[in-house]
Amino acid sequence: MIYFLDVILPIPLQKAFTYHITEAEAQFLKPGMRVAVPFGKNKIYTALAYSIHNNAPTAYEAKTIHQILDEDPIVTNLQLKHWEWVANYYMCSLGEVMRAAIPNAFIIESETILVRNESAEISEEDLKDDEFLIYEALQYQSSLKIEDVVSILDKKRILPVVNRLVEKGVLQLQEELYEKYKPKLVRYVKLHKAHKSEEKLQELLELLSRAPKQREVILTLFTLEASEQKPIKVSELSERSGASSTIIKALIDKSILEEYYIQTDRVQFEGGGDEQTKELNEVQTTALKNIKRSFESKSVTLLHGVTSSGKTEIYVKLIEEQLNLGKQVLYLLPEIALTTQLVQRLQDYFGDKVAVFHSRYSNNERVEVWQNLKNNLEKAQLVIGARSALLLPFSNLGLIIVDEEHEQSYKQFDPAPRYHARDAAVVLANIHKAKTILGSATPSLESYFNASQGKYGFVELKTRFNNVLMPDIELVDLADKYKRKRMKGHFSDRLIEEMTETLDEGFQIILFQNRRGFSPIVECTTCGNSPQCPNCDVSLTYHQYRDQLRCHYCGYNTVMLKNCQACGNATLDTKGFGTEQIEEEVKVLFPDKKVARMDLDTTRGKHGFEKIITKFEQREIDILVGTQMLTKGLDFRHVKLVGIMNADNLLNFPDFRAHERSYQLMTQVSGRAGRTDIRGKVLIQTYNPHHNILQQVSTNAYKEMFAEQMNDRYNFKYPPIYRLIKITLKHKDYNRVNLAADWYAKSLRQVFKSNVLGPEFPPISRIRNLFNKNILIKIPQNQSLSKTKEAIMKIDNSFNAVKDFRSVRVVLNVDNY
C-alpha cells in the first residue's frame, strides 16, 4: 500500500498539496500535526497535515515530506471544520485561514545557512577582501547564518558576495529549520539533595559559620520554603536574603544549592478572582431569564440594551454559569474596546481563568494562550479577545459573547480570510453545540433583522442601570450660528456655554471629531490645487505635530510645502478640521484646563491607548478630544458633556450604511455621558438639524431608524435583504485594469444579469501604485449562495487562464460591508 498526505500550506493555494509518506508515517500522523515539507525551489514550509489517503496526485509526482514536527496535533478537528467553513464561505484558501489563525511562532521557517564546501580547493588569492572575511570565518565555525555574515561584513547587502562565493565553490547554502517559539524558563533553587538530612544540614551550617552571607542565604531559603510551600525563585531568594546573585551562584557551584527551571507563562495576572459577581436588579434578572429561555429553542440571542443598561453584568452571570460547568467561554470585543477596564472587571470576578488574546501581544504570548486553550486548562477558560481569537483551538466551548456586535471592526478587510467575526462566531458556536449572545446598544441592521425574522432570539433592556436618565441630546444648527457670527473657530456659543458650565461643576468633557490629523487637506487659495500622494489617488493630509504632509493609505510623507506646486504662490491653506485642530482650539478657549487627544496618532505602542484612558479616569485630563476610539464600551464616571463637533461628515459618507453607522456612532459616543447618577448632556453640531437620523439619535428611536433604513435597503436591494460580493481587480497599469474589469463584468453579467454593478473606480482609485476597479454582485434572497460562488469561481478560473490578465490581482470579498 502506498500512502499519501494532503497538507495545508500557509500560502494561497486553491487545493491541498499532496506528499508521499511511509506506512509508519501514515500510522503516526494525525490531521492538525505540523510537517515540514519541500515546496517550490528548495524552500521548506511548515504545513498542516490534513488527510491521509492512498490516491496519488495526477498532475505531479508527489515528493516526500521532510519531517514530522509534532507528537500531537496543534490544531483540533473542530477547528479544522470551522476553518473549512471560513475558507468556503469567504472564498479563500485553507492556507490563508491557517496563516491568520496560527501564531507566527508555530510556523517554523527555514533559514538559509552557509556551510563550507569541504571538497573544494580554494586559493586564497582568488578571493576579494570581503569574500576572504567570510571564507576565514568558515575556517573556525562549521556554518554561518545570514545575520552573522551581515555583522562580519558590516553591511546589509551581502547577497552579491554570498552568490560569488557559491559560484567559486567556496560554500554551499543549506536550509535549516528552526522553531520560533521559546518557552520562558524561570530559574528556581532548592537545597542540594546531599544536604537534605538533618545531620548533613547541621554540618553545612557549621561549615558556613565563617561565611555569614552564604549562611544567611540558606536560612532565608528555609524560611521561604516553610512559609510559601512552593518552589522558590532565584530572584525571590536574592531579594529576601539581600544576597547578590553572585553569592547564590557560588553556592550552586559548590553543590550546596541546586538550580532548576520551570516553564512559565509570560502573561500572568496578579490575584483577582475573589470578587463576587454583582447581584442583578429586577430588570436585569428578567433579561437573564429571557436569554436562557430563548437559548432553549435558539442558538443565537440578540441582547439589545441601551448604553449603560448593565449588559456586561448579565454576560458575567452567563459566563459564571458556563465556567462552573467546566466549559470554555469566548468573549469577543472589537480590537479597540479591549481595554484594561473590562479585562480588570472580569479578572476581579474570574481571576486566573481569564486569558486575553490581543493583536498587540507578542508571538510567544499567543502561543501560550493557544496551548492552554487546546489543553483545556483552567487558566484559559475564559478567553477575551478581538476577532482573531475566534480561530483559537477551543476544545470545550459553551458560550460565545459578541459584545458591541454592530462594530465594523469585526470584519476583516485585508488580507484574506475576509471574514466577519460575528458571523463566523455563530458558526463556531454551532460546531461546538454552544450558544452565542450578540449584544449592543445599537444593533446592526442584519442582526436586528435576523431577530425580527425569528432566526435569532431577542431580549431587550430599555433603561439604564439604576434608572439613570438617558443623556439629554441637543442639536445645534451650524448654518444659523455662522450666519449670526456665534462661532469661535469650530465651537458654537452653545457648546462653549455648556463646556464652561460642566468644567465649573468639576465634570469632564469628551469632544468627538471623526477625523484624525490637524487638518486633512491642504488647498491653494489661488489656484485650488491640493498636494497629492504620488502613489495613491488621494490628497495628502497635514499633520501639525510633525509639520508634515502624509498619506493615510501608504504612509508617504514630506515636509509641509511652502509654495503651491501648481501655481507657485505661497497661498497654501488648511481646509477641513481634525482632532489636532480641535485640541488646539480648546487650548485657546480654556487655557487653564488640561486637554488631551485620543486618535491613531497618540495611541501607538503597546500601552498608548491605556495610558490616556487611565489619565482620563484619574481625572488628570479635563477635556478629551478623540475619534471613533472614544465610542467603544468605555465606562467613565465623571463625564457629563459630550460634544459632537460635526455630524455631517458622518452622514455624507459615500456608503450605503452611512446612515446606520452615523446613528450607531453618535448614540455610542452620547452613551459616554452621565453614566452614574447625574444626567449627561450631548451637543451635536450640524448643518442639517432636521435630518431624520439626527432626530432619531436625539430621541433614542432605534426602531424608527431600523424601519426607515430597512425601507431603503428593500428599495435599493442592499443587505440584509440582498447579499453582496465585491470583486476588486488591481494592477499598476490603468488600461490593463480596465480591460480586465470589463472582461470580468461581462462574464458575470451573462450569469447574473442586472445584479452585476460596475466595473467602477472607487473614490480612491489608486492605492500603493495599483489601480483598483470594483465589481459588485447583488444576490437576491432566493438565489443559492453556494451556486453563486461556484459560478464566480468558474469565471475566475477562465479569467486566470487569459495570458494578459494573469498579472491582475483579483480580490473576492463576501459580505464586503
Kindly list the residues in this chain that would bind Zn ion in the complex (CB under 5 A): 533, 535-536, 551, 553-554, 556
Return the C-alpha cell found at 594.
488640561
* Residue 310 sits in the site that holds ligand ADP (CB under 6 A): yes
* Residue 320 sits in the site that holds ligand ADP (CB under 6 A): no
* Residue 556, contacted partner among ligand ADP, Zn ion, none, CB below 5-8 A by kind: Zn ion
Contact 111, 146 (CB under 8 A): yes
* Residue 551, contacted partner among Zn ion, ligand ADP, none, CB below 5-8 A by kind: Zn ion
* Residue 722, contacted partner among ligand ADP, Zn ion, none, CB below 5-8 A by kind: none
Q: How far apart are CA 162 and CA 137, in angstroms?
A: 13
* Residue 553, contacted partner among ligand ADP, Zn ion, none, CB below 5-8 A by kind: Zn ion
Q: How far apart are CA 723 and CA 423, in angstroms?
A: 14
Beta-sheet pairing, 457-461 with 300-305 = parallel
**Residue closer to ligand ADP (CB basis): 278 or 717:** 278
Contact 813, 725 (CB under 8 A): yes
* Residue 284, contacted partner among Zn ion, ligand ADP, none, CB below 5-8 A by kind: ligand ADP
DSSP string, 538-573: SB-EEEGGGTEEE-TTT--EEEPPSS-TTT--S-EE
**Which segment (192-200, 291-299, 311-319, 512-520) binds ligand ADP by CB under 6 A?**
311-319
**Which segment (307-315, 555-563, 588-596, 802-810) binds ligand ADP by CB under 6 A?**
307-315
**Residue closer to ligand ADP (CB basis): 342 or 524:** 342
* Residue 281 sits in the site that holds ligand ADP (CB under 6 A): yes
CA-based Rg of the chain, rounded to a whole angstrom?
A: 31
**Which segment (91-99, 254-262, 306-314, 359-367) binds ligand ADP by CB under 6 A?**
306-314
CB of residue 536 vs Zn ion: minimum separation in angstroms?
A: 3
DSSP letter for 687, please.
S
* Residue 638 sits in the site that holds ligand ADP (CB under 6 A): no
**Residue closer to ligand ADP (CB basis): 550 or 632:** 632
Report how far apart, in Å, the C-alpha atoms of 85 and of each of 12, 90, 92, 282 are. Answer: 16, 8, 10, 40
The continuous run of DSSP H or E covering 96 comes out as helix 94-101
Contact 19, 53 (CB under 8 A): no
Question: Which SS3 state, helix, strand or coil, does residue 732 take?
Answer: coil
* Residue 334 sits in the site that holds ligand ADP (CB under 6 A): no
CB of residue 567 vs Zn ion: minimum separation in angstroms?
A: 23
* Residue 643 sits in the site that holds ligand ADP (CB under 6 A): no
Q: What are phi and psi of 418, to 5 degrees?
A: -90, 70
CB of residue 282 vs ligand ADP: minimum separation in angstroms?
A: 10
* Residue 554, contacted partner among ligand ADP, Zn ion, none, CB below 5-8 A by kind: Zn ion
* Residue 533, contacted partner among ligand ADP, Zn ion, none, CB below 5-8 A by kind: Zn ion
* Residue 308, contacted partner among Zn ion, ligand ADP, none, CB below 5-8 A by kind: ligand ADP
| Strand ranges in 306-431 using DSSP code E only, listed in sequence order | 328-332, 354-357, 382-385, 397-403
**Residue closer to ligand ADP (CB basis): 306 or 812:** 306
* Residue 181, contacted partner among Zn ion, ligand ADP, none, CB below 5-8 A by kind: none
Q: Vertex 362, ends 359 and 366: CA angle to 5°? A: 75
Total residues belonging to the chain: 817
DSSP string, 608-650: HHHHHHHHHHTT--SEEEESGGGGSS---SSEEEEEES-SHHH
CB of residue 385 vs ligand ADP: minimum separation in angstroms?
A: 18
Q: Vertex 194, ends 189 and 196: CA angle to 5°? A: 75
CB of residue 468 vs ligand ADP: minimum separation in angstroms?
A: 8
* Residue 662, contacted partner among Zn ion, ligand ADP, none, CB below 5-8 A by kind: none
Q: Vertex 315, ends 314 and 318: CA angle to 5°? A: 95
* Residue 313 sits in the site that holds ligand ADP (CB under 6 A): yes
CB of residue 770 vs ligand ADP: minimum separation in angstroms?
A: 42
* Residue 339 sits in the site that holds ligand ADP (CB under 6 A): no
* Residue 535, contacted partner among Zn ion, ligand ADP, none, CB below 5-8 A by kind: Zn ion
Return the C-alpha cell found at 355.
486569558
**Binding positions for ligand ADP, 261-280, rule CB under 6 A:** 278-280
* Residue 522, contacted partner among ligand ADP, Zn ion, none, CB below 5-8 A by kind: none
Q: Vertex 511, ends 510 and 514: CA angle to 5°? A: 130
DSSP letter for 263, please.
E
DSSP letter for 170, please.
S
**Which segment (7-15, 310-318, 368-376, 430-438) binds ligand ADP by CB under 6 A?**
310-318
Return the C-alpha cell found at 458.
431577542
* Residue 810, contacted partner among ligand ADP, Zn ion, none, CB below 5-8 A by kind: none
Cell 457648546 appears where? 495
The closest of 68, 106, 98 to 82, measured between CA atoms, is 98
CB of residue 514 vs Zn ion: minimum separation in angstroms?
A: 21
Q: Vertex 698, ends 697 and 699: CA angle to 5°? A: 95
**Residue closer to ligand ADP (CB basis): 307 or 686:** 307
CB of residue 332 vs ligand ADP: minimum separation in angstroms?
A: 14
The closest of 172, 200, 23 to 112, measured between CA atoms, is 172
* Residue 342 sits in the site that holds ligand ADP (CB under 6 A): no
CB of residue 310 vs ligand ADP: minimum separation in angstroms?
A: 3
**Residue closer to ligand ADP (CB basis): 628 or 774:** 628
Contact 167, 101 (CB under 8 A): no
Q: Vertex 294, ends 292 and 297: CA angle to 5°? A: 115
**Binding positions for ligand ADP, 462-501, rule CB under 6 A:** 465
Sequence-distant (6+) residues with CB within 8 A of 476 are 492, 494, 495, 683, 684, 685, 686, 689
CB of residue 549 vs Zn ion: minimum separation in angstroms?
A: 11
* Residue 348 sits in the site that holds ligand ADP (CB under 6 A): no
**Residue closer to ligand ADP (CB basis): 406 or 515:** 406
**Residue closer to ligand ADP (CB basis): 440 or 579:** 440
* Residue 341 sits in the site that holds ligand ADP (CB under 6 A): no
Long-range contacts of 474-481 (CB under 8 A, 24+ apart): 474/681, 474/682, 474/683, 474/684, 474/698, 475/684, 475/686, 475/689, 475/694, 475/698, 476/683, 476/684, 476/685, 476/686, 476/689, 477/686, 477/687, 477/689, 478/646, 478/685, 478/686, 478/687, 479/687, 481/685
DSSP letter for 485, please.
T
CB of residue 550 vs Zn ion: minimum separation in angstroms?
A: 9
Contact 736, 808 (CB under 8 A): yes
CB of residue 770 vs Zn ion: minimum separation in angstroms?
A: 11
Contact 347, 269 (CB under 8 A): yes
**Residue closer to ligand ADP (CB basis): 206 or 677:** 677
* Residue 307 sits in the site that holds ligand ADP (CB under 6 A): yes
CB of residue 672 vs ligand ADP: minimum separation in angstroms?
A: 10
**Residue closer to ligand ADP (CB basis): 238 or 309:** 309
* Residue 536, contacted partner among Zn ion, ligand ADP, none, CB below 5-8 A by kind: Zn ion
**Binding positions for ligand ADP, 440-469, rule CB under 6 A:** 465
* From 34, 66, 195, 311, residue interacting with ligand ADP (rule: CB under 6 A): 311
**Which segment (73-81, 288-296, 301-309, 708-716) binds ligand ADP by CB under 6 A?**
301-309
* Residue 175, contacted partner among Zn ion, ligand ADP, none, CB below 5-8 A by kind: none
Which residues of this protein are in contact with ligand ADP, per CB under 6 A?
Answer: 278-281, 284, 305, 307-313, 465, 635
